Amino acid sequence: MDLDPATLAVAVAQGDRRALARAITLVESAREDHRDRAEALLAALPERETALRLGLSGTPGAGKSTLIEVLGMQLTGQGRRVAVLAVDPSSQRFGGSILGDKTRMERLSREPLAFIRPSPAGGQLGGVARRTREAVRLCEAAGFDLVIVETVGVGQSETMVAEMTDIFAMVLAPHGGDDLQGVKRGVMEAADLILVNKADRDPAAAAHTQGDYAAALRLMRKRPQDPEGFPCVLTVSALTGTGLREAWAAVERLWLWRRDQGHLARRRAEQRLLWFEEEFVQQALARLHRDPRLASTLRAEVEAGRLSPPEAARRALEA
Amino acid sequence: MDLDPATLAVAVAQGDRRALARAITLVESAREDHRDRAEALLAALPERETALRLGLSGTPGAGKSTLIEVLGMQLTGQGRRVAVLAVDPSSQRFGGSILGDKTRMERLSREPLAFIRPSPAGGQLGGVARRTREAVRLCEAAGFDLVIVETVGVGQSETMVAEMTDIFAMVLAPHGGDDLQGVKRGVMEAADLILVNKADRDPAAAAHTQGDYAAALRLMRKRPQDPEGFPCVLTVSALTGTGLREAWAAVERLWLWRRDQGHLARRRAEQRLLWFEEEFVQQALARLHRDPRLASTLRAEVEAGRLSPPEAARRALEA
């Protein structure tokens, strides 16, 4: 962490993976002096926004990690550079999952053309969004062709990931025929691809699940940013590799179509506006916390119940 | 919605349920002129913070609604006034659950001493938190003895509910012995009571689940805000009513202990500080959106990619 931002920026831009890892650690840091250096680093990076940004969510047990690993191995085998960023929206206070993280994607993590970054320890949703966006920016500056942002399917984090990627895919295991209940309508609406994994185990169940989701998608409104045949539901098997090439071909076809039709540029413009608002919030909060007078007076009044929180907020903003 | 805030405040303070419903509609409104009136209304209310605020989360299918209904009927039968507020943190864009809400708590909703308010249509997490806090405040001003804030167990919303209530309880169905996985560590850490529902169906499975969670809780750090025996895991049956009186007795015992030991006052003071920060964020965003110059210049620069979102946010804050 003792490299100066300009030097680190040069090393990142040269595709140095160790420098990239250090740069992400810097943007993840909660320390105030690190934040200043992180911003200097980001400002010093070349503007490179040519990567395909793929959001990927999946319920626990759907086989998301295996799928990313196998897909990543295929793509790096073709000479492409693949970065994988994990998002865990659990707050500081509420910690991670009770079982903790297993070691994941062992093969891909040894592959020189790949870069895998697990979720950091925690933080608020707004902070998680900020550092993930910045990590995506760093990976793009480092020359990765594909940046996968993956998350577990717990609602709020899927929204966040869909709002910072070009294409959003959901990975599901075949179900027993009893539900689409677990999947929120809005997540369905954001999905460009649904991958029904583990098709090797029970092809009939996978086909049945595929049919159910395809029917559910047909009930939704046609979106201008979709070519014929999208959103789509595909069956795959991360274990045997079946269907993965087709799935990737669908992702690429969709991305190129959107790029050529101008939808990609529009989506990214909208996402930049959202990022702007999120940054505004984060920076406003940082200023509030840095102001010692506000900290000592308004907070004390609120804490003691002598001033209502909305009124205190109003005074803080006027100040 | 055409009553003036002062008149509405008087009616709410008199315990008029129709006025309370209208007041909550007002604080839920996204319209700017409604916001001004909502704040006038809140400012005009008497300070009354004597209710027990109970947060309640549960996975879909755990029988949460039935449990609240039966508990609510018991308590209103004793002459207590019970308000139930539902929180759904789904964002505007991501909508509600794909199945939608069923009609719930039919008996309790006909009970004159009860007030039930379903989740509004959507909105961002920050907005949901704000209007739920305000709705709690309105219910307290209207003289309710117990305010239950319920939510589905999807991670982020549980944090929010725990952060605005005195006691946080989780409702679970007995499991097949295979997991505690679904429950995040942090949610476990926030839980004061875990209620294993549906004990009538399979008492052995319920007892087994109770044992598993009790063991998991024993691994956690003892908290100063807990008397002997808390957090605790109880088996109940909302269907037959078994265990519900004991569960309620535990809630009340915990609440009174915390009140007498000063923990309740400290918790509420912390919650007010959090509310202050959330209000600060909401109000800062509202100001950003109201400023036509910022809207037209900075946003256009960001949208076009000529200005980085963090830099634009910095300029917006300086302005």
Give the one of B189, B272, B278 whose C-beta lies nearest to A305's C-beta.
B272
Global model pTM greater than 0.90: no
Residue A309 contacts B where some CB pair is shorter than 8 Å: yes
Which value, to the nearest 10 degrees, does the dihedral of the CA atoms of residues A116, A122, A126, A131 take?
A: -30
| Domain A1-46 shares a fold with domain A48-261 | no
Integer Cα distance of A189 and A120 in angstroms? 28
Interface of A with B in 228-267 (CB under 8 A): none
More confident residue, A26 or B157: A26
Helices H / strands E in chain B, number of each? 13, 7
Mean pLDDT value across residues B92-121: 68
Q: How far is A45 from chain B, CA to nearest CA, in Å?
A: 12
The minimum CA-CA distance between A77 and chain B, rounded to whole Å, is 33
Beta pairing partners, B53: B147
Residue B22 has phi, psi (to 5 degrees) of -65, -40
Give the span between the Cα atoms of A53 and B172, in whole angstroms: 38
Tell me, yes or no, if A318 comes closer than 8 A to chain B by beta carbon. no
Per-residue pLDDT, averaged over B178-182, amounts to: 54
pLDDT average, residue stretch A221-245? 92
In this prediction, residues B144-168 reach a mean pLDDT of 88
DSSP A83-135: EEEEE----TTT-SBTT-PPP--HHHHT-TTEEEE---S---HHHHHHHHHHH
State the Cα–Cα distance between residues B251 and B52, nearest whole angstrom: 9
pLDDT digits (tens, 9 = 90+) for A147-160: 999 987 665 688 88
Nearest Cβ partner of B186 from A90, A184, A268?
A: A90
Q: Is A125's pLDDT higher than 90? A: no
Of chain A, the percentage scoring pLDDT greater than 70 comes to: 88
pLDDT band at A317 (very low <50, low <70, confident <90, very high): confident
The answer to whether the CB atoms of B39 and A310 lie below 8 A apart is yes
Q: Do A91 and B282 touch (CB under 8 A)?
A: no
DSSP-assigned beta bridge partners for residue A167? A54
The CATH architecture annotation of domain B48-261 reads 3-Layer(aba) Sandwich (3.40)
The pLDDT of B251-258, averaged and rounded, is 97
What is the CATH code of the structural domain delimited by A1-46? 1.20.5.170
Compute the average pLDDT of residues A214-237: 89
Output the pLDDT for position A2.
62
Mean pLDDT of the region B249-253:
97
Contact B303 A94 (CB under 8 A): no
Decide: helix, strand or coil at residue B213.
Answer: helix
Task: Please tell me the predicted confidence (pLDDT) of residue B98.
Answer: 33
What part of B 177-216 touches A (C-beta under 8 Å)?
180-181, 183-190, 216
Nearest by CB to B310, from A39, A60, A273: name it. A39
Of the candidates B60, B97, B186, the beta carbon closest to that of A93 is on B186
Domain residue spans in chain B? 1-46, 48-261, 271-318
Under a CB-based contact definition with an 8 Å cutoff, are residues B110 and B283 in contact?
A: no
Q: How far apart are the first and last CA of chain B?
A: 35
Instruction: Find which of B41, B94, B289 to mutate to test the A interface (most A CBs within 10 Å of its CB).
Output: B94
Q: Please choose, from the candidates B38, B304, B115, B282, the residue with its C-alpha nearest in 3D space to the C-alpha of residue A268.
A: B304
Q: What's the confidence (pLDDT) of residue B87?
A: 84
Q: Which residues of A touch B270 (CB under 8 A)?
A: 303
Q: Name the nearest CA neighbour of B35 among B319, B289, B293.
A: B289
Measure in Å the smallest separation between the Cα of A251 and chain B Cα atoms. Answer: 22
How far apart are the C-alpha atoms of A31 and A23, rounded to whole Å?
14
Q: Which residues of chain B neighbour A288 with C-beta distances below 8 Å?
A: 277, 280
Tell whether B40 lies on the interface with A, counting CB pairs under 8 A.
no
B7 touches chain A (CB under 8 A): no
Show the CA angle centred on residue A144, arms to residues A140 and A145, nearest 5°: 105
Separation CA A161–CA A147 (nearest Å) = 12
B201-238 burial, b if ≥16 CB within 10 A, otherwise e? eeeebbebbbebbeebbeeeeeeeeeeeebbbbbbbbb
Instruction: Determine whether the interchain pair B302/A276 forms a contact, defined as Cβ–Cβ distance below 8 Å.
Output: yes
Over residues A71-105, the pLDDT tens digits come to: 999 999 999 999 999 887 654 333 344 333 445 78
Q: What angle do CA B28, A311, B264 make, to 5 degrees?
A: 85
Q: Do A159 and B94 touch (CB under 8 A)?
A: yes
Number of H helices, E strands in chain A: 13, 7
